[in-house]
Amino acid sequence: MANSLRLYLTCIRNTLEAAMCLQNFPCQEVERHNKPEVELKTSPELLLKPILICRNEAEKCLIETSINSLRISLKVKQADELENILTKKFLRFLSMRAEAFQVLRRKPVQGYDLSFLITNYHCEEMQKHKLIDFIVQFMEASFHPLHLVLWSVVNYFKYYAFLWTY
Amino acid sequence: MAAVAVHQFAPCITCHAWSPDRSMVAFCPNNSEVHIYKLSEDKWEQAHILQKHDQIVSGIDWSSRANRIVTVSHDRNSYVWNYEGSEWVPTLVILRLNRAALCVQWSPQENKFAVGSGAKTVCICYYEQENNWWVSKLIRKRHNSSVTSVAWHPNNILLATTSTDGKCRVFSTFIKGVDTRDSKAGSSSDSKFGEQILQLDLSFSWAFGVNWSPSGNTLAYVGHSSTIYFVDDVGPSPLAQNVAFRDLPLRDVLFISEKVVIGVGFDCNPMVFAADESGMWYELCQIPWGEEDVINWSQVWFAVF
């Protein structure tokens, strides 16, 4: 299981290294504007083909690139209702504080749990390989607490169920 | 091969140009100003700051004979700066653009300059003596997307452009009164202004960084799919070659000589391409630049050989 996670993250890292070739590009549609093209989607020639990397049916990562911006959307595994609620709460907590993260998108893309938006300005201020490290480590770390929380919740119920029946 | 000298002028440099004697360099530190630094006794000192643009300066070119600097910016304006006394004095050029200007280059004879823009047009500007100002003529309706790079042929009439629609086009920019019809030049001097001589559809992705060889016989440009395209005998029957490489895409190229080309791009090392005797181009080597990822997509530095 850990092996497939490694492969999944390596695949995402390699794709990001190729996709994160961003440059400053002023808007073609509106004068004096400079907007992330991957969000506007007004000029199809400025967008590259989106890449979907699936670990299994439940976990996937969509990487959409354009000439000046990159959007990474993640869907994490949610086996049952409890995990669903926990994931929602945890990721909503993060998204509300998107300004602190700078590269996080406030609302995830439709069909996904979490989205990042990286623009050329982020690449100018921060180092590209450090940004990629951050995203991959974030993905690794976000798998962990959810499971820990889930296990602790399940164990809590088991313990009290045991206390009540005996 | 290692760097001759490394100086950090600013955290991020958008574009730059060398002075004719290579003692000064003008660049834009990712804002609306142009800084000019002078080399004196092995140290770079700030000589001038040119402040006229409202938005980021996207292109600078320094003409070698007349000592003029032309700057273009995302605010759709262009200024030609003349050195008078001890100050640089700007002259506004009415480009008639309705989108940002992306790149600029003086023509070989420095009587014209070309500006590529996000309005899918190219402006050719020339000086009108009677009215004492710079006039622009536009090449419209040919490009399907922003024009990312322009390059003049040594004959001062042909202009190559690359665009984010993936195509490289060669136009004639003959202007009556500015250019003279050369009887020896042949087909290039028979064309009208704005006539498309050639359209190259070699790249599947965006095209950047076009450059002519010193003789004007070969054209090179890069595509975002990590390929560089060489076109020999530009004319009715061109010969094209692609060289694909493993690294991240290039952003700009420069012909050092007739057979050697240097490309820079998203990988932090400049790459050298050479042509062998039969005319086949191949990747020669990479120049190690060190650990700094400073070169994001800078233009090629004119090496002082």
Alpha-carbon distance B299 to B61, whole Å? Answer: 12
- B76 to chain A, any CB pair closer than 8 A? The answer is yes
pLDDT at res. B107: 93
Query: Residues B182, B222: contact at Cβ < 8 Å?
Result: no
User: In the structure, what pLDDT confidence band is assigned to residue B301 with cuts at 50, 70 and 90?
Assistant: very low
What is the pLDDT at residue B3? 60
pLDDT over 70 at B303, yes or no: no
d(CA B222, CA B254): 11
- Best mutation site among A37, A45, A119 for testing chain B: the one with the most B CBs within 10 Å? A45
pLDDT in tens, A103-157: 999 999 999 989 999 999 998 888 888 899 999 988 887 766 666 666 677 777 7
Burial of A22 (0-12, 13-18, 19+ CB in 10 A): buried
How many whole angstroms separate alpha carbon B33 and alpha carbon B88? 13
pTM score, whole prediction: 0.85
Per CB-CB distance under 8 Å, the chain B contacts of A48 are: 205
Closest CA to A9 of A146, A141, A143, A139: A139
* Closest chain A C-alpha to B89 CA, distance in angstroms: 25
Q: Choose the closest CB to A31 out of B30, B98, B265.
A: B98
pLDDT of residue B222: 93
ipTM of the complex: 0.85
> What stretch of H or E contains A9?
helix A2-19
Q: Is the pLDDT of residue B136 over 90?
A: yes
Does residue B293 register a pLDDT over 50? no
Task: Tell me if chain A has a CB within 8 Å of the CB of B173.
Answer: no
Q: The tokens of B176 are what?
A: 């009556």
A-chain residues near B56 (CB < 8 A): 24
Burial (Cβ within 10 Å: 0-12, 13-18, ≥19) of residue A49: exposed
**How many whole angstroms separate alpha carbon B106 and alpha carbon B63?**
6
Q: Determine, for residues B144 and A25 on separate chains, whether the beta-carbon distance falls below 8 Å.
A: no
Residue A85: partners with Cβ closer than 8 Å, 6 or more residues away: none
Task: Give the nearest partner residue to B266 out of A21, A43, A45, using CB atoms.
Answer: A21
Residue B292: the pLDDT is 42
Averaging pLDDT over each range in A78-92, B5-19, B253-267, which range is the top one?
B253-267
pLDDT at B60 over 60: yes
Give B224's contacts in chain A (Cβ within 8 Å): 21
CA distance B260 to B282: 10
The verdict on B297 touching A (C-beta cutoff 8 Å) is: yes
Structural domains of chain A sorted by starting position, each given as residue range(s) with its CATH number in brackets: 1-164 (3.30.1460.20)
Yes or no: say if B83 and B47 are a contact pair by the CB < 8 Å rule.
no
Show Cβ contacts of residue B241 under 8 Å, excluding neighbours closer than 6 positions: B229, B230, B231, B232, B280, B281
Q: Which amino acid is at B102?
A: L
